[in-house]
Amino acid sequence: MKRRDFTKKVGIGSLSTLLVSDIVYKELIPNGYVPLIFQEPDPFKLFHKDPGMVVLNNKPWNMEARAHLLNDDITPNKYMFIRNNGIIPENLDVQKWRLVIDGESVKRPKSYTINDLKTNFRHYTYQLTLECGGNGRSEFDPPAKGNQWTVGAVSCANWTGIRLRDVLEDVGYTNDAVYIGYHGADMHLSRNPNKAAISRGCPMAKALQEETLLAFKMNDKDIPLAHGYPLRLVAGGWPASVSGKWLKGISIRNKVHDGEKMGGSSYRIPCEAVAPGEKVFTEDMCIIESMPVKSLITAPKSGGMLLQGKSLDIRGHAWAGELEVAKVTYSIDFGSSWKECTLEKPVNRLAWQHFSAIVDFPKKGYYEIWARAEDTHGNKQPMVLPGWNPKGYLNNACHRIAVKVV
């Protein structure tokens, strides 16, 4: 195999490995054979994910869960979706890691070690729902570009860390502070060090909420590398793109943060509803803030069979961005009539809520069970699809499972 063929097959990252250890007998490699060192890693092993997870993209890595995999009250790592915009940081050294707080509106710019953060601020633990703004994108028509998420880009893990608010108060900020922007250690796909893969943020009001964390633990363990080790921002209830992973910096801004993926049509929707496929100008797009009300039936798995005369236990989770879910109902007649589910209160604000119901069927045949959540402001999930938008965000349509009664 010619050197040029190697270069085509592998990334620059792996090539540098080649420079330190040349392949002996490389002229004897059979045509078309890719040496192990260049073979794609198994993402399930690499990220400790369940084999039932679905890989949507490998450059960068994007993986989603299936509805029935999300049945746990607290999402374990093996079922947590991965959404990367760039390259996961390599050769990370926690001893040398610094979080730098800067920006136009910071009073005393400061740099903290992980140890400073862990020892000088109080720790808090919350269950926080993180849903990718693009979850459900695959159903939009006309289709939207991007990862074709179905329903599995949502999680609710137990996050431990310190309040972003406490750190912002430690450095101090001036009256003109309006937004924070995060900076992560991941690299842009081009490996150009001057480009950020993503650098988003949120208004000060969200940054100052009690539940907005600089987290260093997920489900009582160090955060897995793919999810932002050693430090990540967690802003539950907002598009998960606000929750910056591999956090190296926070800028306190005197204007809306203008980092990568804050502008254009990224994580923005038309401020006013548009017809499907309609062209929308950038100035008519608004930044997505709180996520809309949504629910997911996580048990049983869609496509099961049930003996006639038996009732079926269903359960799942519901969440509503900044709001609480007030009610979840289900329908077995394609939305003609609805019955109420039992709904639990959230463990804390911004945690998803669990619902359940015992469902009876009138006779043999094929059924669909639809679940529909309503938030405390009376907003309900749309039965089929919400308003179309160019990037296919915020699809909070009712989830449904198929059941055959035999």
Ligand X SMILES: Nc1nc2c(c(=O)[nH]1)N[C@H]1C(S)=C(S)[C@@H](COP(=O)(O)O)O[C@H]1N2
- By CB under 6 A, name the binding residues for ligand X: 80-86, 130, 132, 155, 184, 186, 197-198, 227, 240-241, 243-246
CA distance readout (Å), 131 to 216, 240, 356:
19, 5, 21
| End-to-end alpha carbon distance in the chain | 58
Contact present, 78 and 52 (Cβ < 8 Å): no
- DSSP code, position 21: S
Q: Beta 268-270 vs 342-343: how paired, if at all?
A: unpaired
Q: Which stretch binds Mo ion (CB under 5 A): 91-99, 126-134, 136-144, 249-257?
A: 126-134
Report, in Å, the least distance between residue 266 CB and ligand X: 9
Contact present, 181 and 251 (Cβ < 8 Å): yes
| Smaller CB separation from ligand X, 9 or 188 | 188
Nearest residue to 85 (alpha-carbon basis) of 187, 200, 223: 187
Residue, CB closest to ligand X:
184
Report, in Å, the least distance between residue 240 CB and Mo ion: 5
Instruction: Name the binder of 246 from Mo ion, ligand X, none, CB < 5-8 A by kind.
Output: ligand X
Residue, CB closest to Mo ion:
132
Report, in Å, the least distance between residue 132 CB and ligand X: 3
How many binding residues for Mo ion (CB under 5 A)?
3
Report, in Å, the least distance between residue 62 CB and Mo ion: 9
| Smaller CB separation from Mo ion, 129 or 331 | 129
Q: Which of 62, 241, 353, 389 binds Mo ion (CB under 5 A)?
A: 241
Q: Angle at the Cα of 126 (from 125 to 130), degrees rounded to 5?
A: 135
Report, in Å, the least distance between residue 246 CB and ligand X: 5
| Smaller CB separation from ligand X, 132 or 373 | 132
- DSSP code, position 332: S
Report, in Å, the least distance between residue 134 CB and Mo ion: 6
| Smaller CB separation from ligand X, 112 or 246 | 246
CA dihedral sign, ordered 86, 88, 92, 95: positive
- DSSP code, position 239: B
| Smaller CB separation from ligand X, 211 or 374 | 211
200 binding Mo ion? (CB under 5 A): no
288 binding Mo ion? (CB under 5 A): no
Lookup: tokens for 227? 């999810």
Q: Beta 294-299 vs 339-340: how paired, if at all?
A: unpaired
| Smaller CB separation from Mo ion, 97 or 159 | 159
| Smaller CB separation from ligand X, 80 or 180 | 80
Report, in Å, the least distance between residue 260 CB and Mo ion: 13
Instruction: Name the binder of 85 from Mo ion, ligand X, none, CB < 5-8 A by kind.
Output: ligand X
Instruction: Name the binder of 319 from ligand X, Mo ion, none, CB < 5-8 A by kind.
Output: none
Instruction: Name the binder of 147 from ligand X, Mo ion, none, CB < 5-8 A by kind.
Output: none
Report, in Å, the least distance between residue 98 CB and ligand X: 15
SS3 (DSSP) at 373: strand
Q: Which of 80, 132, 157, 177 binds Mo ion (CB under 5 A)?
A: 132
CA dihedral sign, ordered 110, 114, 118, 123: positive
Contact present, 54 and 66 (Cβ < 8 Å): yes
Q: Angle at the Cα of 191 (from 46 to 233), degrees rounded to 5?
A: 60
- CA–CA separation, 383 and 371 (whole Å): 9
Instruction: Name the binder of 67 from Mo ion, ligand X, none, CB < 5-8 A by kind.
Output: none
Report, in Å, the least distance between residue 401 CB and ligand X: 24
Q: Which stretch binds Mo ion (CB under 5 A): 54-62, 125-133, 178-186, 199-207?
A: 125-133
In sequence order, what E strands does 254-364 have? 268-270, 285-287, 294-299, 304-306, 312-319, 325-331, 339-340, 342-343, 353-359
Q: From residue 73 to residue 112, what is the string marking binding to Mo ion with x (rule CB under 5 A)?
A: ----------x-----------------------------
Exposed (0-12), middle (13-18) or buried (19+): which is 261, by Cβ within 10 Å? middle
Q: Angle at the Cα of 335 (from 333 to 340), degrees rounded to 5?
A: 90
Contact present, 370 and 363 (Cβ < 8 Å): no
SS3 (DSSP) at 267: coil
Report, in Å, the least distance between residue 50 CB and Mo ion: 20
Residues in the chain: 406
Contact positions vs Mo ion (CB under 5 A) = 83, 132, 241
